[in-house]
Chain A
Amino acid sequence: MSFSKNACIAGIYEHPLRVAPNHTVAQLHAEVAYGALQDAGLTLKDVDGYFCAGDAPGMGPVSMADYLGLKNLSYLDSTDTGGSSYLTHVNHAARAISTGQCRIALITLAGRPKSEGSSGTQVRSQYASAPDFAFEKPYSPAPLNTYAMCAMRHMYEFGTTSEQLAWIKVAASHHAQHNPNALLKDVLTVEDVLNSPMIADPLHRADCCVVTDSGGALIVVHPDIAKTLKKPVITMMGAGESTKGQMGGKVDLTYSALAWAAPRAFEEAKLTPDQIRYASIYDSFTITVLIQLEDLGFCKKGEGGRFVEDGQLIAGKGKLAFNTDGGGLCNNHPANRGGMTKVIEAVRQLRGEAHPAVQVPNLEFALASGIGGALGTRHGAAALIMGRL
């Protein structure tokens, strides 16, 4: 069912902290919820749909709904596809609003991986009951090593280079210098990336995203409500989601589930990739961006390296501005889940609220995409296309 422009993103909030040792996770969820409601010009009493993922403490949405004081909710969703969950939540919220099941949806994300000592080199123990983990536990699959194998295979099949991957980080760092809240604000060169320590071949430390505390929230509403609010109306035009794994042993690391999800989003939005001038692309690692660019159709499979080199992702310089907040690579990757901040920066761009140094002028359409879980083993993916209509 198409949402036929029947849902709008009316509120966004990114927590300004990057280290929050004295907050609880529930408290961070609440702070971002109130931040997004205030941004929209709504109150908690208006909310009738609530969405959260595995970062929310307690059982699904139940504990956080209670903590927040939400009453008489008519729609709940705790779909968890890792860092892409929040893009999926926007898709689900838009469809729930389109079919009249709720009118004002709140989506929250928060966590404290920085304060809790999390690292991308560690096995994520929350997946211990998964049937695959029974076989994979001896080999310590972690975000870094499984994404690294995708990069290694991409280099082998298509001749992609470490220099090309480095350009993705360089572009993110150019944007992060303008974001006072970014964890890493230094502008990097390709050499800086290549000279950072090798963590898991071929990924260097600088090919990796940051680890940060805090979170973000979104408000998705019916267009009738959006029209009554102060902010520019940002309308959902198309969305797609999917998952991909090892396919019974027919492993192919060269593409993501976005190869299935993105065409549906573009078809629904009645747009093509060449009409997109700003994209928020989930950047857990540089290779994550490169594979998504191909799967989204910005270039052909295998040509991602050439697409990103020489600053082509830098706002005002390249052909596609990406992650103008500095992305997960430099700014923020709260709760080890970057999908939320992808939507937030896409909405800022459409509203004209991005930093002037990175604002894409007269932007009509924006895309946000995400990969959650591990690209090299099994993951969820989602793409959203939004417009200032």
Chain B
Amino acid sequence: MLEENLVVHQLPSPIINPENQVFWQAAQKDRLVLKVCNSCKEVHYYPRAICPHCGSNDTVWINSEGVGEIYSFTVMRRGVEVPFAMAYVCLKEDISLLTHLYGCDFDAIYIGQKVQVVFQETQDGQKTHLFKLLV
């Protein structure tokens, strides 16, 4: 089961634009970055130029520790070429992001499980973030 799930799923590539390119440049170096607002001090996701919590345009990039826990998940078993585990991971920085779980036994996933960020190349070579289970 585990080996079968490790079949490399060539993920579609993200869409890079002037507002998010720092995020994807960091991913290329295996770093997860987030946006924090200098005005309200809140972290947000997905990253924007303008803070969705207070409207300030004084937002800056910070490094994420890349650790968190599974808020919810599903295993997409049918209707796709390669089954995958999708999740919302709630990071230590108190934001949740939509992602995939990397190379895990689908039947061992549970809500609240601790996870750590890893990076994987997508179809065009751009890396993106996934999370592996910390057992």
Residues of chain A at the chain B interface (Cβ within 8 Å): 119-122, 128, 131-142, 144-146, 148-150, 152-153, 156, 197-203, 205, 246-251, 253, 377
> A145 is contacted by which of B53, B76, B96 (Cβ under 8 Å)?
B76
Report chain A residues within 8 Å CB of B90: 251
Supposing A121-B78, A150-B72 touch, asked if A249 and B43 sit within 8 A by C-beta, the answer is yes
- Pick the contact of A122 from B45, B51, B79, B95 — CB < 8 Å? B79
Given known A-B contacts A132-B46, A250-B96, A140 and B71 have beta carbons under 8 A apart:
no
How many chain B residues touch A (CB < 8 A): the figure is 44
Residues of A with C-beta under 8 A to B44: 248-249
Question: Which residues 67-84 in B have Cβ within 8 Å of A in the complex?
Answer: 71-80, 84
Chain B residue contacts of A119, Cβ below 8 A: 79
Residues from chain A with a CB closer than 8 A to the CB of B88 are: 149, 251, 253
Asked if B13 is an interface residue, CB under 8 A from chain A, the answer is yes
8 Å CB contact of B76 from A137, A200, A248? A200
Query: Which residues does chain B contribute within 8 Å of A203, judged by CB atoms?
Result: 74
B73 near A139 with CB under 8 A, answer no
Contact in complex: B72, A134 (CB < 8 Å) = no
CA distance A148 to B48 in the complex (A): 27
Q: Which of B20, B43, B79 contacts A135 (CB 8 A)?
A: B20
Answer whether residue B125 sits at the interface, using C-beta atoms and an 8 A cutoff. no
Q: Which residues of A contact B75 (CB under 8 A)?
A: 200-201
| Cβ-defined contact, A134 with B98, below 8 A | no
Contacts of A140 in B (CB 8 A): 11-12, 76, 80, 84, 86
B45 / chain A contacts, CB cutoff of 8 Å: 246, 248-249
17 contacts between A and B (CB under 8 A): A121-B78, A121-B80, A131-B19, A134-B17, A134-B46, A135-B23, A135-B98, A139-B86, A139-B99, A144-B76, A145-B74, A148-B76, A149-B73, A200-B75, A201-B77, A248-B53, A249-B46
